[in-house]
Each structure stands twice: as C-alpha cells, then as structure tokens.
C-alpha cells in the first residue's frame, strides 16, 4: 500500500502541482484547504506525513501544527512546514514546535520528493 501524504494548503494551484509531483513518485495524496479541515483529515486518515502551509485563512499553520502535536492521535505524524513566505525565525520556530522540517515554495520537484521520502515513516 502506498504511503499517504496530506497537503494542508489554501491555494488550489499549489495543491494540484504538489499532488502531481507526489503521485508521480508513488505517494497517495489527500488535501485540505484550511487548518481545521487539515486537523480533521489527519485524524481520519492517519497520513504518513503532513505538508503544512503557514499562511491560511482561519487558523494558520502554526496553530494547526500546535493542535496536531497536542492530539494523541496525530502527535506522531511528521509535519513539514511548507511555505512561500520567508519567516526570519521560521525554520527555528518550526523545529521548536515539533515540525520535522521546513521547506520553501516554489519548490524543485526532486527536492520535494527527497524531503518527503526522508521523513515518511519517521512517525512512531
């Protein structure tokens, strides 16, 4: 069975392009367009990894990450912060908050696949 990646991202074009890259690499991809939906789907699907945008309507990625890490059902799922915005402390903050990694958009497909493969299966 292929590994499942959950993309939590509010921009449809980014979801589609990321999904195409990951599916071509053999992953099953699900998506959510906001933090609340992302949390719900993470609980339902128990994905192998979450790609999480920071800037979203409603609860942002930081709050979504906090809630995922507090919930026993989702706490062990690796989360990669996936953002176009350069945060001065973004990488450090994501690490402190329990994210597995921090990745900038736009992305090179090979780099994304390599990063996802590195962290899939890291949850316990």
By mean pLDDT, which of 30-34, 63-67, 98-102, 118-122 is the weakest? Answer: 118-122
Are the beta carbons of 15 and 52 closer than 8 angstroms?
Answer: no
Q: What does the pLDDT look like over 88-124, one tens digit per residue?
A: 677 888 889 999 999 988 889 999 999 999 999 655 4
Length of the chain: 124
Helix axes 109-119, 12-24, angle to 10 degrees: 70
Instruction: State percent of the chain over pLDDT 90.
Output: 79
Give 4-119's CATH code, choosing from 3.40.50.2300, 3.20.20.70, 2.60.260.20, 1.10.260.40: 3.40.50.2300
Q: What is the pTM of this model?
A: 0.94
Cis status, amide bond into 106, omega within 30 of 0:
yes
How do the domains of the chain map onto residue ranges?
4-119
Are the beta carbons of 4 and 120 closer than 8 angstroms?
Answer: no
- Residue 20 binned pLDDT confidence (cut-offs 50, 70, 90): very high
């Amino acid at each position: 069975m292929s590994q499942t990646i959950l993309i939590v991202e509010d921009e449809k074009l980014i979801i589609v392009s990321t999904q195409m890259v990951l599916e071509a690499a053999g992953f099953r991809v699900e998506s959510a367009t906001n933090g609340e939906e992302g949390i719900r789907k993470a609980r339902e699907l128990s994905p192998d990894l979450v790609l999480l945008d920071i800037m979203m309507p409603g609860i942002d990625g930081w709050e979504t990450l906090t809630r995922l890490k507090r919930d026993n059902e989702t706490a062990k799922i690796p989360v990669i912060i996936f953002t176009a915005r350069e945060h001065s402390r973004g990488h450090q903050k994501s690490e402190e908050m329990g994210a597995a990694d921090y990745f900038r958009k736009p992305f090179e497909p090979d780099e994304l696949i390599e990063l996802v493969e590195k962290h899939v299966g890291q949850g316990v």
